[in-house]
Chains A and B, each alone.
Chain A
Amino acid sequence: MGSLFRSEEMALCQLFLQSEAAYACVSELGELGLVQFRDLNPDVNAFQRKFVNEVRRCDEMERKLRYLEKEIKKDGIPMLDTGESPEAPQPREMIDLEATFEKLENELREVNQNAEALKRNFLELTELKHILRKTQVFFDESVPTVYKSSGAYSSSKYRRYPQMADNQNEDEQAQLLGEEAQEGGVNQTTESMTRALITDEARTAGASMGPVQLGYMEKSNEREDYLPCFVAGVILRERLPAFERMLWRACRGNVFLRQAMIETPLEDPTNGDQVHKSVFIIFFQGDQLKTRVKKICEGFRATLYPCPEAPADRREMAMGVMTRIEDLNTVLGQTQDHRHRVLVAAAKNLKNWFVKVRKIKAIYHTLNLFNLDVTQKCLIAECWVPLLDIETIQLALRRGTERSGSSVPPILNRMQTFENPPTYNRTNKFTKAFQALIDAYGVASYREMNPAPYTIITFPFLFAVMFGDLGHGAIMALFGLWMIRKEKGLAAQKTDNEIWNIFFGGRYIIFLMGVFSMYTGLIYNDIFSKSLNIFGSHWHLSYNKSTVMENKFLQLSPNGDYEGAPYPFGMDPIWQVAGANKIIFHNAYKMKISIIFGVIHMIFGVVMSWHNHTYFRNRISLLYEFIPQLVFLLLLFFYMVLLMFIKWIKFAATNKKPYSEVCAPSILITFIDMVLFNKPKPPPKDCETYMFIGQHFIQVLFVLVAVGCIPVMLLAKPLLIMQARKQANVQPIAGATSDAEAGGVSNGGSHGGVGGHEEEEELSEIFIHQSIHTIEYVLGSVSHTASYLRLWALSLAHAQLAEVLWTMVLSIGLKQEGPVGGIVLTCVFAFWAILTVGILVLMEGLSAFLHTLRLHWVEFQSKFYKGQGYAFQPFSFDAIIENGAAAAEE
């Protein structure tokens, strides 16, 4: 028992738990992971259940932990993952945990808030610093007019511009200077702006004086009402063009905007992004313009800063800003340090906490599924349990009781049920992948034959028939072997890479497929499409020198050039050099092989259905379904296989007629003639129509019996069921009335109890069902047999593709003359190797895998497998923690 051949026997059990002990017991069961609880209050919604409050608290704790995790990840602190799973804490520890998390979260939030405020402060100061520095340049441009009397000083000022200003400023400088020189190619906007800003007389004066006069210190030259004001601020760089245009339009060109980029990106305090900003300064005059400008600034989210007019004030302010920035930097550093310390301390325990909280939450979720006893003293649970594990479960329950200090032991009580139990196949890491292949088609019905153990052998084998190549098989096997050897390490580093996870999950399959492919590669004598001559070919050339010299093609006759005994293992390497009929020979061989394997595989599938029928004591199906099915398959298709063997044994080139190679009949034609009752074509001279005496009679008999099986499959079972029902209906009337009444009552009671489980199928449905089943089987055995030809087709395609790759790619490298060939060969080999892995191993491997999967799902399993069960999903901490929050939320 406990085998892989059938799923585990399950029992529905009732579990009485004392209220105090329930938590500890469920915790023990969760560690065990062998019990599937049923929801006993399906109509109670999630908010009305008993332990809603606890679940909510756990949710809250989990949220805090996730917040911590996010912060830890943001700082790139490694989280300690010991992989150990601490026991679920006692309910009273929950308060401690809550308090710890609360404290941590608050601390972190506070630190974050402070840091953000500090950062905002810091940003403002840096922006101000930049404004002061950049505007210095803007103001300096106008300064010379003040000192215009001292020409030497001003010219020295000019010379200082390029050093002070950044590139863009230089540009502007050029524009301004160009304008000063009254050159034509200047920026239109600037020119018109200047024109609008400065009155004509000032302009002419300015032109004669030197640079464009801006700013505030030129009152002596200006009219009385010219009182220029300015605002300075910082704006996001990408907003600047729109901002400029807006200003220009809204103020009708009556403002003057200067801007300079801040080279270093600044950090946005709210989300930590690096943003580029620009400093701008707007000159204008009048209050109306001022409000307008301010509104536009506001609209563009520009931050305005006070900027004193006097250079001395500005310098002082700059000094102040610098010192404050220094101070802020130290404070910020300390804040960061503190945050880091808090997070590092949290990171040590985080995984552990996650496990604990998830366990608590899972326990309360499970407790929510339980029924409360009327006395409120105990909880009642219903669960599916594997029969074999009842002992272990009872032990775990006892442990739980002891831990909780309760005196009353829990009661595990087996119940009778008519419900279908869940399907539970015990797997290990090796069989798990194969079971997954089966379950992907459909989870087996309860106690149905499980195809997985046979698949372990047949799957890699059928794959290898298609993938047969020693070299490619070796690559695959090595990859599988590497994954198996490094199993623990690779499993520990969990990745989200889906493709990798698929490969890693199927590592044993890949390894077996590789090893089997190496075997079939030896049989086909293919290694990267070349042959190995290990034992020496058993064919010998018997032509003389002149014949060989004069003929382009020569034939080797099996009758003389062949030793008479076959090559000891696999295909004779002579076929490698037989350019003319290598493929023809391989086709005949591989086609027959694939039909033989296919028919055997299908017969095996039908035999499996016998195990099912006997197990479920389904005598009708055994007699009127299994037997005709098997007879049908054996008499038609297995007979064909037998004919192949007879042909191989009886006919040979060395034999005399009627058993020489000329007389060998075509099996396919023979089979078609047999089924259609055709008269076979007259054989060649001295040959016989049939391979053995009585073949014609046997064939006719076989076909008639096989066809006779079809109505048996089609009608026998429904008719028998119909008859049985009629008898069942007649009996109660014949019996005593009192008995009938009593029986009726008891029957009704039991039926009501399980919710009408055994309601009888409608008779017409049985007929339809059976006819579909029969048609599927009869047509299926023809099409499925043909379907196995994919073994041949893919194997042929694989061999051809490998050969093409060799001759088209690697041969180029090998055919180079001279010593350069070595270097060319190196490059060509690398290319060939990559193509070999990419196309032949990966893509061909995938296609062969899919075809193998299909052969198992459709051709093999359709013979016996229903796959209508549902999987056993035990309450297990391991699974819950594995699936993380997603599973816990359900």
Chain B
Amino acid sequence: MKICGPKLSLCGLIISVWGIVQLVLMGLFFYINSVALIEDLPLEEEYHSLEDFYAAANRAYNQNAYNCWIAACIYVLTLLLSAQQFYMNSRVTAN
């Protein structure tokens, strides 16, 4: 079954690989609470106590780490899909 053309499938392939690599790494960095990524967390402007902030930050870090990994998994799916499409396209052109 052929859905996308050769260019689109190649594009999907590249973005998927890139997405998997980068999102897995970013998930890892979120998981180890990387300070550089703190601005990308869904946090409130102010917290009343330090404990509140730590709890919220830890939760957000974990949440983001999982989100990144979920996105990476979705990219694995798109990778498979585009790879299959790419294979179909290359076989069509070969014949």
Contact = CB atoms under 8 A, between A and B. Distances in A.
A829 B37 contact: no
Contacts of A823: 70-71, 74
B59 to A, nearest CB: 10
Contacts of B66: 819, 822
Contact of A545 (B22, B50, B67): B50
B75 A826 contact: yes
B24 interface: no
A573 interface: yes
A154 interface: no
Contacts of B36: 530-533, 573, 576-577
A46 interface: no
Contacts of B92: none
B71 A817 contact: no
Nearest to B67: A821
Contacts of B41: 814-815
A819 B67 contact: yes
A815 B42 contact: yes
Contacts of A833: 15, 18-19
A101 B46 CA distance: 87
B58 interface: no
Interface string A539-569: 0000001000100000000000000000000
Contacts of A457: none
A823 to B, nearest CB: 7
Contact of B40 (A545, A814, A819, A830): A814
B89 interface: no
Given A549-B50, A821-B64, A826-B74, A810 B40 contact: yes
B29 to A, nearest CB: 9
A634 interface: no
B70 to A, nearest CB: 3
B40 A811 contact: yes
Interface string A335-369: 00000000000000000000000000000000000
Given A829-B23, A833-B18, A814 B67 contact: yes
Contact of A825 (B15, B38, B71): B71
Nearest to A530: B36
B39 A816 contact: no
A807 interface: yes
Contacts of A829: 19, 22-23, 71, 75
Contacts of B75: 826, 829
A625 to B, nearest CB: 53
Interface string B27-45: 0000000111111111000
Contacts of B13: none
A420 to B, nearest CB: 50
Nearest to B40: A814
B63 interface: yes
Given A814-B64, A830-B15, A833-B15, A822 B39 contact: no
> Could you say which of A576, A811, A822 has the most chain B C-beta atoms within 10 Å of its C-beta?
A822
> Could you say which of B35, B36, B37, B68 has the most chain A C-beta atoms within 10 Å of its C-beta?
B36
A822 B18 CA distance: 16
Contacts of A533: 34-36
B19 A826 contact: yes
A816 B64 CA distance: 8
Contacts of A830: 15, 19
Interface string A794-832: 000000000000010011011111110111011001100
Contacts of B40: 810-811, 814-815
Nearest to A821: B67
Contact of B70 (A530, A531, A819): A819
Interface in A654-677: none
A530 B39 CA distance: 11
A530 B35 contact: no
Nearest to A525: B36
B39 A811 contact: yes
Nearest to A828: B71
Contacts of A573: 36
Given A577-B36, A814-B64, A815-B41, A826 B50 contact: no
A531 B36 CA distance: 7
A826 B42 contact: no
A821 B37 contact: no
Nearest to B11: A834
Nearest to B19: A829
Interface in A364-408: none
A291 B78 CA distance: 72
B74 A822 contact: yes
A331 B50 CA distance: 94
A818 B70 CA distance: 12
> Could you say which of B34, B42, B67 has the most chain A C-beta atoms within 10 Å of its C-beta?
B67
Interface string B53-73: 000000000011011111101
A814 B63 CA distance: 10
Interface in A810-865: 810-811, 813-819, 821-823, 825-826, 829-830, 833-834
B61 to A, nearest CB: 11
Given A811-B40, A814-B64, A826 B35 contact: no
A817 B22 CA distance: 20
Nearest to A811: B40
B62 to A, nearest CB: 12
A633 to B, nearest CB: 42
A580 to B, nearest CB: 14
Interface of B: 15, 18-19, 22-23, 34-42, 50, 63-64, 66-71, 73-75
Closest 6 A-B residue pairs measured CB to CB? A822-B70, A821-B67, A825-B71, A814-B40, A826-B71, A815-B42
6 contacts: A577-B38, A814-B42, A815-B40, A816-B42, A823-B71, A825-B71
Interface of A: 530-533, 545, 549, 573, 576-577, 807, 810-811, 813-819, 821-823, 825-826, 829-830, 833-834
